[in-house]
């Protein structure tokens, strides 16, 4: 259990981001949540598929991150699609803002995990893939799979 020991426990991973984007730098940010949202995350009911981050007034927000309402919660449940504020240092946010504005990058949440008792999100500074890039990476993955399969066959014999 990832309680007080300080270990990490993966909640969700954004697999679509690795398919649609070339991931450059990675950053860790805290996530400002309410009580029932954390309880819902402990059950693993989150979707990062179409989420992205935007910077407004020197603060960074995760847009499109769907955290399902906690089933045992009542009036304390929040809107599942509300923008969630990310907690980062001001200079990191400004550096990301400069890259996004000038170089055409996007900030995409890659994974969500517990670090000790805190919820953290791994952000990637990503550049969109073209169609031919997606085909190249799919062919590369297929070739890698075939190599692994043949190695496995040889070790059995």
Looking at the predicted structure, is the pLDDT value of residue 78 above 80?
Answer: no
Who has greater pLDDT, 14 or 35? 14
* pLDDT band (50, 70, 90) for residue 76: low
Convert the pLDDT of each residue in 112-134 to its tens digit: 898 888 889 999 888 877 777 77
Task: Give the CA distances from residue 153 to residues 32, 140, 147, 149, 150, in Å, rounded to whole numbers and listed in that order.
Answer: 49, 20, 10, 6, 5
Greater confidence (36 vs 109) lies with: 109
Return mean pLDDT, the chain: 82
Comparing 113 with 156, the larger pLDDT belongs to 113
Q: What is the pLDDT of residue 89?
A: 92
The structure's pTM equals 0.72
pLDDT tens-digit series, residues 32-60: 887 778 888 888 888 888 888 888 888 89
| Residue 70 zone, left/alpha/beta (φ > 0; ψ -120 to 50; rest) | beta
**What does the domain layout of the chain look like in residue ranges?**
8-129
The per-residue pLDDT for 3 is: 43
Whether domain 8-129 has CATH 2.40.280.10: the reply is: yes
Q: How deeply is 97 buried, as exposed, middle or buried, from its count of CB atoms within 10 A (0-12, 13-18, 19+)? A: middle
Cβ atoms within 10 Å of 147's Cβ, excluding its own: 10
5 has a pLDDT exceeding 80: no
DSSP for 28-86 reads EEEE---HHHHHHHHTT-EE-TT-EEEEETTEEEEES-EEPPPTT--TTPPPTTSPEEE
Nearest alpha-carbon partner for 109 in 66, 76, 56: 66
């Amino acid at each position: 259990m990832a309680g007080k020991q300080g270990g990490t426990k993966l909640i969700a991973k954004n697999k679509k981001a690795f398919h649609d984007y070339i991931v450059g730098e990675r950053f860790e940010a805290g996530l400002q949540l309410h009580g029932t949202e954390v309880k819902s995350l402990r059950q693993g009911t989150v979707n990062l598929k179409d989420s992205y981050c935007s910077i407004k007034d020197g603060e960074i927000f995760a847009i499109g991150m769907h955290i399902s309402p906690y089933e045992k919660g009542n009036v304390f449940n929040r809107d599942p699609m509300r923008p969630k504020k990310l907690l980062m240092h001001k200079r990191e946010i400004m550096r990301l803002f400069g890259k996004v504005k000038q170089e055409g990058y996007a900030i995409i949440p890659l994974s969500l995990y517990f670090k000790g008792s805190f919820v953290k999100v791994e952000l990637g500074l990503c550049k969109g893939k073209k169609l031919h890039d997606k085909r190249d990476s799919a062919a590369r993955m297929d070739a890698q799979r075939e190599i692994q399969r043949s190695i496995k066959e040889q070790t059995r014999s």
